[in-house]
Amino acid sequence: MHKDFRTILVGVDDSDDAITAFQYAIHRAKADDAALIIVSVLESDEMNIYQALTKDYIHGERQELEKHVQDYANLATKAGIRSVRTVIAEGDAGEEIVKTVIPQFNPDLLIIGAAAKQGIAKHFGSQAAYMAKYAPISVLVVR
């Protein structure tokens, strides 16, 4: 039996797996006429202490991430998704998505890539596995 989803949350960064996850999320959102929420996480553990103390660095990183996520949103809109939102979270990707983003937006499906260069899921063993185990909603891990 096929379940229609009303709200789909997709995690993105600049990895090939995240791009594949995003493409699938667009396909699924179109098929179900679902809203799409695009999330990316600014991970503080990727910064050294000097960068973490430098407001200009964090501001620059965040602006770059916001532009990146907005590019994804523009693609989703062009693909015909009627409701597209973007979210930038900060901290540990898996924990932020499971403990903050999902409760705040109440999606019924999370789509993530299995591996990533940086950001949302550095490798399947950590972030993606964490989200698949602890998310209170269905999780689709894309390779």
Q: How high is the mean pLDDT in each 10-residue block of the chain (143 residues)?
A: 85 87 96 96 66 64 89 97 95 92 97 69 65 96 89
Q: Which pLDDT value is given to residue 30? A: 96
Domain boundaries defined on the chain: 7-142
Where are the alpha helices (H) located in 33-106, listed in sequence order?
A: 49-53, 55-78, 93-96, 102-105
CATH architecture of 7-142: 3-Layer(aba) Sandwich (3.40)
At 141, list the tokens.
């891990």
Under 8 Å between Cβ of 45 and 71 = no
Q: Which pLDDT value is given to residue 121? A: 42
Q: Which pLDDT value is given to residue 57? A: 61
Please name which of 36, 16, 41 lies closest in space to residue 25, comparing C-alpha atoms. 36
Q: Which long-range contacts (CB under 8 A, 24 or more apart) does 64-67 make?
A: 65/40
Overall size of the chain counted in residues: 143
Under 8 Å between Cβ of 127 and 18 = no
Task: With 0.95 as the threshold, say if the pTM is over it.
Answer: no
Q: Which pLDDT value is given to residue 2? A: 64
Residues 6+ apart with CB under 8 A from 108: 5, 6, 7, 8, 137, 138
